[in-house]
Every structure is written in structure tokens, then in C-alpha cells.
Amino acid sequence: MIKLLFILLVIPLSFAFAESEDDLSYEKYMPEENTSRISYFDYSKLDFEVLEVKKAFISKWVNEPGDFSNILQIKFNVTNKGLENFVVYKDMFQIDVIDPRIEYQKVRVNNEKYLVDNYYPEYSEHFKLRFKGAQLPENIQECERLQHSVKINQTKSLSVCFDFKQLWSNEPLDLNGPRLYYLVMMDNKFATSCPNCKTVLLN
């Protein structure tokens, strides 16, 4: 009886609770916390310049009356001045729509209180599928998927495009109206790390 009790005492707890070998391996190599996205690119080593903003109204509604779109194409230069392994991804970009609400009030882009909408990039394939049979502007071909490596001291000219569906806002896109439209280039593909962002007013 004493020998049996001794054997039971020296059996590892993992066996006692039927813990699998896979679980043990996972816990052994699992990091204490997710640190993969804690360090961000230093955007002071990046030049970002908007070259041109084009707006095209598509006069064909798609799913229901009033389902029109404005396509906003933004051409830009990005220059890498010292970032290793820097890649321009599609998910880096969005447009934030800010409503100042009170005249002459200073608006901070990162103040969510004034953020009324945002938009994410779309591509030529999206526009062709959405507007079958419609006459699309020729430059729609430039709305390509972004996944471009930019080496140190290299400059690339690229385009990013957005689909402003009128049903979402109940009004056409008006860059001369009261709302402020900001192109935001975020830190990386997976996380927004503002204020480490490049933000350009498009109005």
C-alpha cells in the first residue's frame, strides 16, 4: 500500500489530469503576450505625398434605386528614407470623414467624437463586378491591389481607390461641403497606430 501511494505521488500532474503532449508543447513555446505588433514603423523615415485626387460619378444604380457611387482615386508618392522591409499594403489605407459640427471649431483627426464615417480601398475588379455594363473611367485600371515593396531611398507612385456608395451617406460625395475627408495611411497591415500615421486632408 505504501509503494502504491509513493508511485501515485511521483506521477506528473499532467498525467493525473490527462493533459495531452500537444498542450504541453504549446504552452512551452507560447509567448507570454502577443508582442508581434508592439513595435511599429517609424514614419518619420517615410515621405508621403498626395499627387492627385480624382472623383468620378457612376450614373448607374445597382441593387436598388439610389444605389449610386462616386469613385475616389488618390495618386500618391511614397518614399522610403530608412525603413527595413517596408511594404505598402492595401489595408494601410482608409478615409476618415470628420464633421466639425460647430463652425470654426478645431477638429483633431484622431478624435473619434467627430468621426462620422470611414471607407476602405476597393479595386478595379470590385468596380467591374459592381457596375457590369456601365461605362467606367479608363483610369479605373490603376486601382490595383496594393502590395508593393519599397526599398530604402526608393520612391514609388501608386494609386488607392474608394467606393463612396451614396446609400451609405444618403448624399453624394462633396469634397467642397462641410465634411472633412482625410486620407489616412496607417502604420501597418494589421493595426492602426495613430498618431504614427500619415494623414492628408483631401478637401
| Domain CATH number, residue 194 | 2.60.40
Element of type H or E holding 5: helix 2-10
pLDDT surpasses 90 at 74:
yes
- Per-residue cell: 36: 508581434
Q: In whole angstroms, what is the distance from residue 165 CA to residue 71 CA?
A: 9
Helix or strand or coil: residue 17? coil
Please report whether residue 184 resides in a domain.
yes
Q: What is the pLDDT of residue 76?
A: 95
pLDDT surpasses 80 at 15:
no
| 197 within 8 A of 187, measured Cβ to Cβ | yes
Q: What is the mean pLDDT of residues 106-119?
A: 59
Please report whether residue 9 resides in a domain.
no
Tell me the residue range of the domain where 157 lies. Answer: 43-201
pLDDT surpasses 60 at 105:
no
- The strand pairing partners of 148, in sequence order, are 88
Element of type H or E holding 169: helix 166-169
Please report whether residue 2 resides in a domain.
no
Helix or strand or coil: residue 92? helix
Please report whether residue 137 resides in a domain.
yes
pLDDT 10s digits, 30-70: 334 444 444 567 888 999 999 999 999 888 788 888 788 88
Percent of the chain with pLDDT over 90: 23
Q: In whole angstroms, what is the distance from residue 31 CA to residue 34 CA?
A: 7
Q: pTM value?
A: 0.71
Q: What is the pLDDT of residue 34?
A: 43
Please report whether residue 21 resides in a domain.
no
